[in-house]
Structures are given as structure tokens and as C-alpha cells.
Amino acid sequence: MDHLTVVRHPLVQHKLTLMRRKDTPTAVFRQLLREISQLLAYEVTRELPMREVEIETPVAPMRSPELDGRKLALVSILRAGNGLLDGILELVPSARVGFVGLYRDEDTLEPVQYYFKVPDHLDDRLVIAVDPMLATGNSSAAAVDLLKRQGATDIRFLCLLAAPEGVDRMRQAHPDVPIVTAAVDERLNEKGYIVPGLGDAGDRMFGTK
Ligand code: URA
């Protein structure tokens, strides 16, 4: 896969525009994120592990491919990652799931870890880390560091929106980790928000402020 894939499908772009609107209510925002996560999942799961199984159609026996969901680990970077996670899990319910808890120190913009729980044998899995906003890239790079330390070697990063700064940071820190996103925006502002962006994804998803 390329290091950066921007999914320009009209359905993705339309839903993203609705999500960006500041007046979009929380419940609609959450629903859109769920829908868009499934469309993005289509792109990020292109190389999912498969296995051949023996089946019988009404006409004849055959060997046919099916997903080896146990070989997939979805890792949500809390808390906003859960908005992407839920939709993808509906598509691949047998995937194993992990969580990385990182918050951003508002002064330094550096990530601080508060939770880490991932499936065993990450070295044997395709790991898809999900976080809607790739902003400075500091937490994303830190989360991927943790996953690699835990043995993961085949990692993809899925986000909804990225800033050029975040993409560059990830390219430098983890050139082996392809990024899939719906858009790369203009820049970060002085508070580390993506411009024009959509605001704080966690707040918009959960109705907090
Ligand atoms: N996190 C968000 O939720 N939004 C941004 O714009 C940047 C980081």
C-alpha cells in the first residue's frame, strides 16, 4: 500500500461535509462516523488475511475464501477511536480488539499514556489502529510505537481527517505504516486543531465540551 491513501469516494466526501458542519447534532455526527468508518474500512481492509474453506453450494462442493477475522486486530486510540471502531466491527465481528489510552497534554501537545490493552500475538496479525483525527501525529506515532513494542509488524493507520503535519510526522516515525484517510486538510492551528477540520471529534461524538 502507498504511505497515504485519500479515499475520495463521493459517499465518503458527502458524509464528511455533513460531519464538518458545526450545526450537525451529536447523534447525527455519531451515525455519520459509523457509516463513513465502514466505507473507509473497505479501503483499509483490502489486504485482510483470508483462508480457504470447503463449502457446498446448492450445485457443487467448492473451496472458497473467507475472512480470517481472528488474524485481524483493531486497535482504538481512545476515546475518539471508538467511533471508527464500532462501524468496522460490524463488518468484521470476529476481529480481536485492543485499546490504547492516550491524552494530549494541552500545553506541550505531547501524548500521555493512561491505558493499554491489546490482543495477544500481535506479531501474527494485521493491526489496524483507528483514530478519527491525525493532527500533530504525536499520539498516533506514540500509539504505533507501543504496538510495535508489543510485537506488531504489519500495521495500518485509519483516520477520518489528517493534517499535513501529522502525515509528515507519521511518515518520519513510521514509514512502514500506511495511512488511510478521507481528507488531508490545510494545517494545524496554534492549539493543535486541524483547520478547517471539524472541531474536537470526541466532543462532537459524545456531546461533551
Ligand atoms: N483532535 C481533534 O479531535 N480535533 C482536531 O482538530 C485535532 C485533534
Residue 24 lies in a domain: yes
Residue pair 77/129 in contact by the 8 Å Cβ criterion: yes
* 193 Cα nearest atom in ligand 1: 6
69 falls in which pLDDT band (50, 70, 90)?
confident
Could you tell me the distance, in angstroms and rounded to a whole number, from the CA of residue 193 to the centre of ligand 1? 5
Residue with the bigger pLDDT between 7 and 105: it is 7
Planar angle of CA 152, 169, 155, nearest 5 degrees: 20
User: 104, 124, 154, 171: which one is catalytic?
Assistant: 104
Which of helix, strand or coil describes residue 141? helix
115 assigned to some structural domain: yes
The tally of domains found in the chain comes to: 1
Question: pTM (2 decimals)?
Answer: 0.93
Report which secondary-structure segment, H or E, holds 157: strand 154-158
Rounded Cα distance between 89 and 85, Å, is 6
In a domain, 53, yes or no: no
Q: Is residue 60 part of a domain?
A: no
CATH for 145: 3.40.50.2020
In a domain, 86, yes or no: yes
Question: What is the pLDDT, as a whole number, of residue 65?
Answer: 96
By percentage, how much of the chain surpasses pLDDT 70?
A: 100
What is d(CA 179, CA 146) in angstroms, rounded to the nearest whole number?
Answer: 17
Ligand 1 binding pocket (C-beta < 6 A) is: 80, 133, 135, 192-194, 197, 200-202
Let me know if residue 55 belongs to a domain. Answer: no
pLDDT value, residue 68: 84
CA gap 209, 203 in Å, rounded: 6
Q: State which residues form the domain around 10.
A: 4-47+71-206
Residues 154-207: tens digit of each pLDDT: 999 999 999 999 999 999 999 999 999 999 999 999 999 999 999 999 999 999
* pLDDT, mean of residues 9-34: 97
Q: What is the pLDDT of residues 127-150, one digit of tens each?
A: 999 999 999 999 999 999 999 999
58 domain-assigned:
no
Among 68, 124, 154, 200, the active-site one is 200
Would residue 105 show up in a list of annotated catalytic residues for this protein? no
Residue 65 lies in a domain: no
